[in-house]
Amino acid sequence: MKVQNKVMVVTGGGSGMGRELVLALLARGASVAAVDINAATLEETRSLAGSQGDRVSTHVVNITDRALVEALPEQVIARFGAVDGIINNAGIIQPFVRLKDLDYAAIDRVVNVNLFGTLHMTKAFLPHLLARPEAHITNVSSMGGFLPVPGQTIYGATKAAVKLLSEGLNSELLGTNVRVMVVFPGAMATNITVNSGVTISLTSDKAGSRSFKALAPAKAAGIILDGIESNRYRVLVGSDSTFMDALYRLHPQRAARFIYNQMRALLPE
């Protein structure tokens, strides 16, 4: 689906890759409803849109709140007249600890944002997307959604759920006007650790960042939009995601051991 003259909704639009997706969509001629829990960063995104700001609406919504999400489609339609696509980008990681040391508050938060937030958005917007001549759903999973990352077991479980949710939805929607794409980013140069309340840096030497360079979010946004416009089924974002996808298909246990060796220094003793 070409995004020019389309109305797109982007969650996590206040920062990182979500912000870059908003700006890239505007550059390609779309109108965008930017959704985020942080009002201040949403306004920063609108400001960065400059002269294209008249094609941006901002919506302060906690996507874990189903009632708030269910009210969102009508707000977007009232502003733009229609909605043609959603990009479920918002997500958080967990503290880098083993499952036995992860408290239930952290587990609930990660599951609610990554899985239920994506599910709420999809359920709320799908009836409106089915009414359009063509429409699109993009769900952002993670390299951790197909590959086990120690210290991110619950995060990975939610992203694996997003993967299967997307693929199942794609199959259910065959023969309709709605296309579904799932995205698997690798390491990204974003502030996801801050937004997740995690203090450790994913770009430190401890995290093995010298093996794969973190991808700039603007570059990632371009890859994702190219995937939407090419009606791709799945998109791998970053050299690390591409490499690990191939290795995991050939030898899952070897791939898991490789990531363990890369990430084990982040885990507390």
- Residue 223's contacts (CB-CB under 8 Å, 6 or more residues apart) are 235, 237
Is residue 203 within 8 Å of residue 25, measured between CB atoms? no
Find out whether 82 and 7 touch, Cβ atoms under 8 Å.
yes
State how far the Cα of 251 lies from the Cα of 262, in Å rounded to an integer.
17
Q: Which of 104, 155, 233, 248 is catalytic?
A: 155
248 catalytically annotated: no
Q: Whole-angstrom Cα distance, residue 171 to residue 177? A: 12
d(CA 59, CA 64): 14
For residue 166, the one-letter residue type is S
Q: Which of 201, 128, 118 is nearest to 165 (CA)?
A: 118
Q: Which residues are catalytic?
A: 155
